[in-house]
A = this chain, B = another copy of it.
Amino acid sequence: MGITKNHIFDEYQNETANITKVLGHPARIAIIQHISQHEYCNCNDLVEATGLAQPTVSQHLSEIKKIHLLTQKHQGKNIFYAIDLDVLNQYRRKINDFFVKIQVNCQK
């Protein structure tokens, strides 16, 4: 049905999948990379960098925003995006811990 049965999985499983799902598209990986490499990065920069149309980039940005990985600063007509480092680090640990737990379980 294209519809995920979230209710049959626990919070940890859903949260983990929500984060990795957002990272599960090369355009979003590229967007996150580009923002991290350019201090004042707006939507047009990302359109140029990725080669995708502006609405497509905007859509991907909104997915990334949903998990609070981005901050935005309005400056005139521009919106400059940046990575929320606290959130990034939290997710880094969360995903790494997932892998480590799997590994530890296997070795019992």
Contact = CB atoms under 8 A, between A and B. Distances in A.
Interface residues of A, number: 46
Interface in A68-96: 82-83, 85, 88-89, 91-92, 95-96
Contacts of A24: 17-18, 20-24
B89 A103 contact: yes
A53 to B, nearest CB: 11
A90 to B, nearest CB: 10
Nearest to A11: B26
A102 B23 contact: no
A22 B94 CA distance: 16
Given A20-B24, A26-B4, A92 B88 contact: no
